[in-house]
Chain A
Amino acid sequence: DTEVTQTPKHLVMGMTNKKSLKCEQHMGHRAMYWYKQKAKKPPELMFVYSYEKLSINESVPSRFSPECPNSSLLNLHLHALQPEDSALYLCASRGASGGNEQFFGPGTRLTVL
């Protein structure tokens, strides 16, 4: 089973709202990732969590706040976003042993009005 789930599938929010994206995997993977993908562009890495610790922050603005409550769950808290933050937000996870393959969830399509 290589399933990563993400909720919600779609999210529309105003610039003053606070919302959260959720990602879950039950494969025992110990590394989890947030990516942002704009239309007709490749995914861009935002954050990496390894063993529930934030390991990489790719200079992401503080209006994006990641959280890893446990080894299966990853959240992305959103606050005071801008219209240019509208994108597909992808979560991925990677196994701790064996291969280095990253598996993506279905993504959350975010629209900021």
Chain B
Amino acid sequence: QKEVEQNSGPLSVPEGAIASLNCTYSDRGSQSFFWYRQYSGKSPELIMFIYSNGDKEDGRFTAQLNKASQYVSLLIRDSQPSDSATYLCAVTSGGYNKLIFGAGTRLAVHP
């Protein structure tokens, strides 16, 4: 059974700090990696994707991928209370870009 693991949290950070969320995956064949943000009662929203080793930055978000260590991370700079949500790590596994999700990390940004 292919797995994706995340700390469930909650991860509590003060406003303006950097939030660091981590994810490991078991399928060495995974090629695509995603971070979704999900507010309570809403659907997942894609915020970052990364396909190659290294860093990818988009605004306040940076995704990092290390395929050798089977590790993906998301950094959120200058965290805001509006960033408080559950962050889901997802990786492709198998055909048709089937997504395997981690259990999600709950982030709480306090003023």
Q: Is the interface of A mostly helix, strand, loop or mixed?
A: strand
User: Which residues of the partner chain B approach A101 to less than 8 Å between Cβ atoms?
Assistant: 34, 46, 49
Alpha-carbon gap, A103 to B31, bound state (A): 18
Q: Is the interface of B mostly helix, strand, loop or mixed?
A: mixed
Segment among B13-21, B71-79, B88-96 that sits at the interface with chain A: B88-96
- Contact in complex: A102, B43 (CB < 8 Å): no
Q: Counting CB contacts under 8 A, is A81 at the interface?
A: no
User: Which residues of the partner chain A approach B96 to less than 8 Å between Cβ atoms?
Assistant: 31, 48, 50, 55-56
Q: Counting CB contacts under 8 A, is A45 at the interface?
A: yes
- Contact in complex: A104, B32 (CB < 8 Å): no
Could you list 13 A-B pairs, sorted by A, with CB under 8 Å? A31-B96, A43-B88, A44-B101, A55-B95, A56-B95, A90-B43, A94-B97, A100-B32, A102-B46, A104-B36, A104-B44, A104-B46, A106-B43
User: Which residues of the partner chain A approach B45 to less than 8 Å between Cβ atoms?
Assistant: 104
State the B residues within 8 Å of A (CB).
31-32, 34, 36, 42-46, 49, 51, 88, 92, 95-99, 101-104
Q: Counting CB contacts under 8 A, is A69 at the interface?
A: no
| Chain A interface residue bracket vs B | 20 to 34
User: Which residues of the partner chain A approach B49 to less than 8 Å between Cβ atoms?
Assistant: 99-101
Nearest Cβ on chain A to B65's Cβ, whole angstroms: 14
Alpha-carbon gap, A107 to B44, bound state (A): 9
User: Which residues of the partner chain B approach A88 to less than 8 Å between Cβ atoms?
Assistant: 43
Q: C-beta contact mask, A79-113 vs B, less than 8 Å → 1, else 0?
A: 00000000010100010000111111111000000
Q: Counting CB contacts under 8 A, is A42 at the interface?
A: yes
Name, among A42, A99, A104, A107, the residue most crowded by chain B CB atoms within 10 Å (CB to CB).
Answer: A42
- Nearest CB in chain A to that of B31: its residue: A100
User: Which residues of the partner chain B approach A106 to less than 8 Å between Cβ atoms?
Assistant: 42-43
Q: C-beta contact mask, A40-84 vs B, less than 8 Å → 1, else 0?
A: 011111001010000110000000000000000000000000000
User: Which residues of the partner chain B approach A99 to less than 8 Å between Cβ atoms?
Assistant: 32, 49, 51
- Contact in complex: B44, A43 (CB < 8 Å): yes
